């Protein structure tokens, strides 16, 4: 089995540790996060890994998920780690699980974001945001059923996966991963319109702005726009998790939401 190891450059030492451990058991391809293609020509043959291990934080997992067709496993070397299944201290378990392919396949979907001259895919979110020096802008969100308007600093369009990321920080709900919906959450809207809007995943929406704003997809500024079209993307991405994984435990551990409060007041 060929396994790719993809790493954020500043986690090179951690990545080497993963590489060394996996190399004892598998063919390993080693890619840094600036790598364009996660495949290699070996002996005249284009070799794609069966799975890619991402060493870094959630941002690293997001990047690798968009580069490959194969599943991805996150080894946590950054913050939070919603996408990580294993710690650096759990490499023995990772090797065993790889040998027996003993994983939960956690499938997530993306939003397809179209602008005039390009298409982007958002695993977490697509954010329209004004510059700091820019005046507050007007957003119009149009869909089958009608339209909503926001006079705000920005709008976050997020998947269920992204509902525990930036949208949550702005007051949005936690949307379980298997809900067929996405949400819009305004940033600093006027007239108390702070609530998120939950929209069926079958809907195609168009957002227009009365001024040019930044388009930020999964944390990367990708352009300046006045109009975007957003809908669910048909491509599915797959994270491999240890069999012990469940979403609710992850949410409780990472952000403390829905955690049991013990009688003595501690958590």
By annotation, the residues acting in catalysis are 58
Under the binding rule (CB under 8 A), the answer on residue 138 touching a second copy is: yes
Segment interacting with a second copy (CB under 8 A) among 94-102, 127-135, 185-193, 217-225: 185-193
Under the binding rule (CB under 8 A), the answer on residue 196 touching a second copy is: yes
Segment interacting with a second copy (CB under 8 A) among 42-50, 62-70, 111-119, 188-196: 188-196
Tally Cβ neighbours within 10 Å of residue 51.
Answer: 19
Q: Binder to a second copy among 200, 211, 235, 253 (CB under 8 A)?
A: 200
Q: Is 125 annotated as a binding residue?
A: yes
Under the binding rule (CB under 8 A), the answer on residue 219 touching a second copy is: no
Cα 133 off chain centre by: 29
| CB-based burial label for 41 (10 Å; 0-12, 13-18, 19+) | exposed
Q: Is 58 helix (H, G, I), strand (E, B) or coil?
A: helix
- Looking at residue 13, what DSSP letter applies? H
Region 39-58 residues binding a second copy, contact defined as CB under 8 A = none
Spatial separation of the C-alpha atoms in residues 105 and 233, rounded to whole Å = 19
Tally Cβ neighbours within 10 Å of residue 127.
Answer: 25
Under the binding rule (CB under 8 A), the answer on residue 145 touching a second copy is: yes
- C-alpha distances (whole Å) from 138 to each of 74, 127, 187, 193 are 39, 14, 12, 13
Structure tokens given for 123: 């695993």
Under the binding rule (CB under 8 A), the answer on residue 151 touching a second copy is: yes
Cα 66 off chain centre by: 10
Residues that bind a second copy (CB under 8 A): 138, 140-141, 143, 145-151, 160, 163, 168, 171-176, 178-181, 183, 190-193, 195-200, 203, 246-249, 251-252, 256-261, 267
Task: Provide the annotated binding site.
Answer: 58-59, 63, 124-125, 135, 151, 153, 188
Task: Provide the annotated binding site for NAD(+).
Answer: 58-59, 63, 124-125, 135, 151, 153, 188
């Amino acid at each position: 089995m060929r396994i790719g190891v993809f790493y954020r450059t500043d986690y090179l030492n951690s990545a080497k540790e993963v590489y060394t451990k996996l190399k004892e058991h598998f063919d390993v391809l080693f890619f840094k996060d600036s790598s364009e293609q996660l495949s290699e020509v070996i002996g005249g043959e284009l070799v794609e890994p069966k799975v890619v291990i991402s060493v870094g934080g959630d941002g690293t997992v997001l990047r690798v998920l968009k580069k490959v067709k194969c599943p991805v496993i996150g080894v946590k070397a950054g913050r939070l780690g919603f996408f990580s299944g294993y710690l650096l201290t759990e490499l023995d378990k990772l090797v065993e699980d790889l040998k027996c392919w003993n994983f939960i396949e956690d499938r997530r979907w993306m939003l397809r974001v179209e602008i005039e001259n390009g298409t982007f895919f958002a695993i977490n979110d697509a954010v329209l945001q004004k510059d700091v020096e820019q005046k507050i802008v007007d957003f119009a969100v149009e869909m089958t059923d009608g339209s909503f308007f926001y006079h705000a600093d920005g709008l976050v369009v997020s998947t269920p996966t992204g509902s525990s990321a930036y949208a949550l920080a702005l007051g949005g709900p936690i949307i379980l991963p298997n809900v067929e919906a996405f949400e819009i959450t305004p940033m600093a809207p006027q007239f108390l319109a702070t609530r998120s809007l939950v929209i069926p995943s079958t809907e195609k929406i168009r957002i227009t702005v009365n001024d040019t704003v930044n388009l930020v997809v999964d944390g990367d500024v990708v352009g300046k726009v006045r109009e975007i079209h957003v809908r669910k993307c048909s491509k599915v991405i797959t994270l491999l998790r240890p069999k012990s994984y469940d979403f609710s435990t992850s949410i409780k551990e990472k952000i403390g939401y829905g955690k049991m409060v013990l009688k003595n007041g501690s958590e």
